Amino acid sequence: MELFGETLSTGSAIFLLLALGLALSFEFVNGFHDTANAVATVIYTHTLKPMVAVVWSGCWNLIGVLTSTGAVAFGVLALLPVELVLNVGSGAGFAMVFALLIAAIIWNLGTWYLGLPASSSHALIGSIMGVGLANSMLSKGHEFGEGVNWVKAKEVGLSLLISPLVGFVCAAGLLLLMKFLIRNKELYQSPEKDKAPPLWIRGLLVLTCTGVSYGHGSNDGQKGMGLIMLILIGILPATYAVDQSTSQESIQALAADAQAISFQMDRHAIGIAMAGLQAASDDLSAYLKTSGKLEERTYGAIGVKCREISDTLSGKTSLSELTKPQRSLLRSDLYLTSEALGKILKAHKLDDPEEQKSAASLKSHMDKLTKFIPVWVKVAVAIALGLGTMIGWKRIVVTVGEKIGKTHLTYAQGAAAELVAAATILAADKYGLPVSTTHVLSSGVAGTMAANHSGLQMETLRNLLLAWVLTLPVTVLLGAGIFAFVLNVLIRFGIK
């Protein structure tokens, strides 16, 4: 069977279609939660009709997705175990993909049904951690917990923890600033039934809705894109292992830079003899694990891999000249070397400024070959987000508009919460950090209610907090359990 330009067995084709369907389903369900928050204020305030609001938001989600850098997508994937990322086409790799997607979807559907604005980001990251923990438990020679990139998990966890606090405080402060600067009473009224606000207020609310929609697309949309790329790389490595549109100039520049860096790395590993290419791969994989320590052999391993990359690319005018096995091996070498250089740079282990600059430049060049996202993937994710919003917006809109505060949401409160949410999401996107649109916006609404002395409905806040607290542990358990189950089923069918 031929799919996406490659000939696949019937089993591989079925796995591919199922995995892509699950990834797009995750983004579809994400539309219930996070994208619905973007249209909550314009629908609740009668600024736009529901269908108009959803289509408008969907268009800006698409723009956000199309203009995204991919940093968040691959930042989330950095939480996955190294060995599963490198061997995503194996039985364990398939089990990983299915487990983390199914776990996240189950939790998202459950919280949506209850009308709780739960975080799709939390759900996905929790399921990824669960897969990592289960993989370390089920794999021989692995220590419990080393299957999770705890440094990256801490970084992501802090962004998810701090962003709601930023939303609460900044939205409250912005509302107070608006009251001081804008004295027009119309802005601080609650919506009248079936009556649109004045034109200037409608313009403000459409602007804030646009900002959140764009930010959501550029951040949340990337999570689905990263998962789809992981699937494509595992099943269709000949097409998606490396970016085949890379120019001849870039290929030759990378080959030269890799050769130059190899000599620099060798100076840190004088007298260290590497046993071979596989030994270098094993050393770098060990270094990238949570328990991995930087040794002289690590520098030597990077030098070996850089020479292998340079030899592979030398004289090539296009990556399409490489065979399918060569492309898969090149991607593994690029991934291991880039991630190892990144870890060394982050730990400030290179003292020479010129060496730091060369290593950072090489990492950037390597990432361009492996961390790419085709336009059709971005469009598919944006459509899935938009369709989800069209079907599931109502429950979340009612929660945001009426169930957080004791009084109904005013125009100013909605605008302040959305402005802060948009700014927070875009700032996180710049640094490649995933944040929850849901938590930033709902905490922003709560902040405006507190600043306005409107009172807060403690039952709703308690439910929101409960969903926020339980998301990680529940999805960790779901991800781990589903991974173990799917892996066992695949092994029984002889898929390893």
Question: Burial letters for 8-26: b for 16+ Cβ neighbours within 10 Å, e otherwise?
Answer: beeebbebbeebbebbbbb
Phi, psi angle pair for 2, to nearest 5°: -105, 125
How remote is the C-alpha of 249 from its chain's centroid?
30
Closest CA to 308 of 344, 273, 269, 334: 334
In angstroms, the CA 114 to CA 395 distance is: 8
For strands 6-7 and 2-3, give the pairing.
antiparallel
Tokens of 115: 């009308």
pLDDT score recorded for residue 88: 72
Better-scored residue on pLDDT, 21 or 138: 21
Domain range list for the chain:
10-238+373-492, 244-370
> What whole-number distance in Å separates Cα of residue 58 and Cα of residue 357?
40
Integer Cα distance of 116 and 14 in angstroms: 34
Tell me, rounded to whole angstroms, the distance of Cα 416 from its chain centroid: 26
- The confidence score (pLDDT) of residue 24 equals 92
26-79 pLDDT, tens digit each: 888 877 666 667 787 788 788 888 888 888 888 888 888 888 877 777 877 777
Distinct helix (H) and strand (E) counts, the chain? 19, 2
Find the mean pLDDT for residues 180-198.
85
Mark 348-370 as b/e (b = at least 16 C-beta within 10 Å).
eebeeeebeebbeebbebbbebb
The number of angstroms, rounded, from the C-alpha of 390 to the middle of its chain's C-alpha atoms is 23
Kindly report whether the global pTM for this prediction surpasses the value 0.85: no
Calculate what percentage of the chain has a pLDDT beyond 70: 89
pLDDT in tens, 392-449: 666 666 666 555 656 677 889 889 989 998 898 888 877 777 777 777 888 888 888 8
Residue 114 CB: number of other CB atoms within 10 A? 12
Instruction: Give tens-digit pLDDT for 323-381.
Output: 888 998 999 999 999 999 999 998 888 888 889 999 999 999 999 999 888 989 988 98
Band of residue 242 on the pLDDT scale cut at 50, 70, 90: very high
Confidence of residue 491 (pLDDT cuts 50, 70, 90): confident
- Residue 22 pLDDT exceeds 70: yes
In terms of Cβ atoms closer than 10 Å to its own Cβ (0-12, 13-18, 19+), residue 453 is exposed
Specify the amino acid at residue 226.
G
pLDDT digits (tens, 9 = 90+) for 114-134: 766 667 777 888 888 888 888
Report in angstroms the alpha-carbon separations of 355 from 197, 263, 264: 59, 11, 7
The stretches of 270-313 forming alpha helices (DSSP H) are 277-288, 296-313
